[in-house]
Structure 1
Amino acid sequence: MVQMKRQIPNPTELFDLVQLKKPTLNFKQRRLAEAQTIWDLRDIAKRRTPAAAFDYTDGAADEEISMRRARQAFRDVEFCPSILHDVSRVDTSCTVFGGPSALPFGIAPTGFTRLMQTEGELAGASAAAKAGIPFSLSTLGTASIEDVKAANPTGRNFFQLYVMKDRDISYGLVERAAAAGFDTLLFTVDTPVAGARLRDKRNGFSIPPQISLGTIANAIPRPWWWWDFLTTPPLEFASLTETGGTAGELVDKAMDPSIQFADLQTIRDMWPGKLVVKGVQNVADSKKLADLGVDGIVLSNHGGRQLDRAPVPFQLLPDVVREVGADVDVAMDTGIMHGSDIVAALAHGAKFTFIGRAYLYGLMAGGEAGVDRAIAILREQIERTMKLLQVERLEELTPEHVRRLS
């Protein structure tokens, strides 16, 4: 039996082992630094945001099956790494819709964003500018086209368009986005009416927020949210002439369920930049859009917020890429909560991805600094996954690097 030699601890050696961590007095910086995953940011966001606003972001339609399936599809991926490749450096940059991005993801368009945190879209646009990735502004955004351009003056800005019952509003937004130098239009086709957002109805979530005994009780442990909300400029919507009601009710009032393929040509004639159709959910429509000459498509079920049990974009991706990937850029969203999800999507043939909730969790957790942290987390995870797969550039990712277990 081995006998270890014992000695009296040397005080100087003990002090060398114990390194006191310098305290951080900036509470926001500390809580964001402690977040290691997007799920950690979600936990912080839930603590800091009133239930109605958090659930508007976090929730989906009906039983929320589509959202759960989309996230599970990424969990069911098995990676197949190569060996003995030099990955001392990896290149995460890519080209999508005719322009560059420093990372293979951009910020998706989200509506009513300042309700989650008052810095809203301007925080997202500024963070995107620093990261060198595209920012997308929603038709139902709470910042103007011009203000977003000012927050991201030299970066890539996309505008997401709904065709509304008042077509002049939609067409006017297209003209303003073109005049402001936005380079890509995301023509969204999956929202003829709003999905059944049951959390919103149960929470009594309305725009503008209505004060009730319930909201007062929920606000007591979150005074910073209400202070921010009440001491900053009131919400303004570029496309809504009136508010009052749940988000779904406002969407139903505004959206035109009669839009058809002819509307696509109308928008094409108006728009000088890249035209991308968002909300595509089958191969046949993808082929038709490619034949019509669009510049790209985004496979999306709107984050599970429209038709519940709709196709999962990640599962649809290989078939669509096989049919049209040589003709148009195929991007996807929905379900992305980790950088490895993005790597898996690229290996399946996606040219690009968009993050929605992941960005909003960061926003609710800490404003622009929280968005910076969300982007940093995903960047670190992408780089680590690429190195562990032993892939130096995104272009080297192939279907052989991923296997779906179910």
Structure 2
Amino acid sequence: MSINRQLPKPSELRELLQFKKPELDPTKRRLDKALTVYDLRKIAKRRTPKGPFDYTDGAAEFEISLARARQAFEDIEFHPETLRPAAEIDTSVEILGGPSALPFGFAPTGFARMMQTEGEIGGAGAAAAAGIPFSLSTLGTVSIEEVKSVNPTGRNWFQLYVMADREKSYSLVERAAAAGFDTLYFTVDTPIAGNRMRDTRNGFSIPPQLTAKTILDAIPRPAWWFNFLTTPQLEFASLSNTSGTVADLIGQTFDPTISPEDLQIIRDMWPGNIVVKGVQTLADAQRMVDAGADGIVLSNHGGRQLDRAPVPFHLLPEVARELGDQTTIMVDTGVMNGADVVAAHALGADFVLVGRAWLYGLMAGGRAGVDKMIEIMESEILRTMGLLGTSSIDELNPSHVTQLTRLVPRTDNTRTNA
């Protein structure tokens, strides 16, 4: 059968020839190409020196804990409900006595101004705009009061490391309370520094040192170095010791002998919510609840402390079954997609914390990059919930998710002598 052919009409050609207006803003042009958090990571790697990027991206020892945590979120199966339209989806939650417009918030991360000059200010501003909690670390590079000024009416949370000089820790607690922070993380998974080998190999220090290696690394990344050299000195806002490796800092400043008594002292001092961060077993979760914690964070510190530690997402269903009606349960480590957030809520999490993801956005484009990261994760959450047939976070439940088995404990680890 022959095909009739004809010359195209000029009016039809005009409809087909649609030229996109070029984007002149280089940051927006760069971020517009990012469709996932992994895309932001690729941009961040191109724009950030190896030391700061690897500090964010890496983990302890052979990075097995981090790889397993990410794999755990991939090893799930969703179960959508058919003929359950979700035309309007509500992503908001109530967490620790207050609202969050999305079911996740920003985990505390140290040294953010080293990743990109806007640092915690960029993160707090983006969190404020999105209506989600922002968490400031003891190892932050802006002060408690500066974060409050950027996010004056939003949810600000503070992560406390208990230091050998207890008075310094107590002073930070008092400052955070005076600034109106409503939640404090009592962090229990960093008695000593993990072995972060990328940092050792890179000769990474705080602040970064100008060496032949770092100068060569700077050549394709002039914007980062220009910002580093032309903005206020990079230092810890809450600590006086601002030089050396991360291991040096932890060894000199933190106290490996923290105990339940320390938790009780901080509990008595702190007027708001207190959440124990770094819980890695059901037994410890129960002990923290019994000790008076308002919540727990199932976390292995992003895989940055003990390698081959328990995977928080694997631990979540058991803790939720046993303690879900007694405390607030949060989870972090390995969260890189909005579907990860949905799966965690379905299996019993009350809230999810993201750390590396917002730092990738920060390195990719400053505050605009963090906004982009939130936009990406929100769209993934909405799409996943819509396809599952759920209209609110409260509708998510274990029937929506199956954790597929990859690592199975051996039940017989004993050996007998003949």
1:133 alignment partner, SS class: coil
Aligned AA for 2:107?
A
Secondary structure at 2:210's aligned position in 1?
coil
Structure 1 segment 176-215 matched on structure 2, within 5 A: 176-215=175-214
Aligned to 1:278, the other structure's residue is in SS state strand
What whole-Å deviation, never above 9, does each CA across 1:367-401 have from its counterpart, x for those lacking one? 00000000000000000000000100010101110
Counterparts of 1:404 and 1:313, CA distance in 2: 13
The alpha carbon displacement at 1:160 in A equals 0.3
* Aligned counterpart, 2:343: 344
Aligned to 1:360: 359
Other-structure match for 2:371? 372
SS of the counterpart of 2:214? helix
The residue number in structure 1 matching 2:147 is 148
* Contact 2:276–2:295 (8 Å) recurs in 1: yes
In the superposition, the TM-score normalised over structure 2's length comes to 0.96
Q: How much has 1:290 moved relative to structure 2?
A: 1.4
Q: Deviations over 1:263-292 (max 9, x none)?
A: 110000000000110000000011111122
CA distance in 1, matches of 2:98, 2:4: 65
Q: 1:55 Cα deviation (Å)?
A: 0.2
Residue-by-residue CA offset, 1:8-60 (whole Å, 9 max, x unaligned)? 11122112012100001000011111100000000000000000110000000
Q: Secondary structure at the match of 2:274?
A: strand
Q: Alignment partner of 1:211: what SS?
A: coil
Size of the aligned set, in residue pairs, is: 405
Per-residue CA shift, 1:70-91, capped at 9, x if unaligned?
Answer: 0000111111000112311100
Q: 1:322 Cα deviation (Å)? A: 0.9
- Amino acid in the other structure paired with 1:274: N
Query: Unaligned 5+ residue runs, structure 2?
Result: 406-418
Deviation of the 1:240 alpha carbon: 2.2
User: Structure 2 matches for 1:2-21, cutoff 5 A?
Assistant: 2-21=1-20
Residue 88 of structure 1 is matched in structure 2 by 87
- In 1, the alpha carbon distance for the partners of 2:219 and 2:344 equals 42
Q: Which residue of 1 aligns with 2:115?
A: 116
Structure 1 SS opposite 2:140: coil
Equivalent residue letter for 2:299: S
Q: Is the 8 A contact 1:170 1:239 kept in 2?
A: no
Q: Report the CA distance between 1:6 and its aligned residue.
A: 2.0
The 8 Å contact of residues 119 and 362 in structure 2, kept in 1 or not, is answered as: yes
Q: Tell me, what secondary structure is at the counterpart of 1:330? A: strand
* CA–CA separation in structure 2 for the residues paired with 1:149 and 1:177: 9
CA contact (8 A) 1:87 1:387 kept: yes
Matches within 5 A, 1:67-82: 67-82=66-81
Structure 2 counterpart SS, 1:314: helix
Name the SS of the counterpart of 2:326 in structure 1. coil
Q: Helix, strand or coil: the match of 1:277?
A: strand
State the alpha-carbon separation in 2 of the partners of residues 205 and 292 from structure 1. 38
Q: After superposition, where does 1:4-403 map in structure 2 within 5 Å?
A: 4-403=3-402
Question: How far apart are residue 237 of structure 1 and its match?
Answer: 1.5
| Secondary structure, counterpart of 1:106 in structure 2 | strand
Please state whether the residue corresponding to 2:39 is helix, strand or coil. helix
Cα displacement (A) at 1:245? 1.4
Contact 2:143 2:238 in 1 (8 A): no
For 1:361, what is the secondary structure of its paired residue?
helix
Query: 3-state SS of the aligned residue for 1:275?
Result: strand
* Secondary structure, aligned partner of 1:403: strand
Find the aligned partners of 1:92 and 1:320 in 2 and give their Cα distance. Answer: 23
Which whole-Å CA distance do the structure 1 matches of 2:322 and 2:160 have between them? Answer: 26
Structure 1 partner of 2:408: none
- Pairwise CA distance, 1:248: 2.0
Partners of 1:157 and 1:259 in 2: CA distance = 25
- Given that residues 298 and 333 in structure 1 are in contact (C-alpha distance below 8 angstroms), is that contact kept between their aligned partners in structure 2? yes
Conservation of the 8 A alpha-carbon contact between 1:134 and 1:158: yes
Whether contact under 8 Å (1:118, 1:228) holds in the other structure is: yes
Secondary structure class of the residue paired with 2:30: helix
| Deviation at residue 109 of structure 1 after TM alignment | 0.4
Instruction: Tell me how far 1:198 sits from its aligned partner.
Output: 0.5
Distance 2:175 2:235 in 1: 16
Shift of 1:247: 1.4
Preserved contact between residue 235 and residue 242 of structure 2 (Cα < 8 Å): no
State how far apart, in whole Å, the 2-side matches of 1:242 and 1:293 are.
Answer: 32
Q: CA RMSD in A?
A: 0.8
What SS does the corresponding residue of 2:288 show, helix, strand or coil? Answer: helix
- Stretches of structure 1 that go unaligned for 5 or more consecutive residues are none
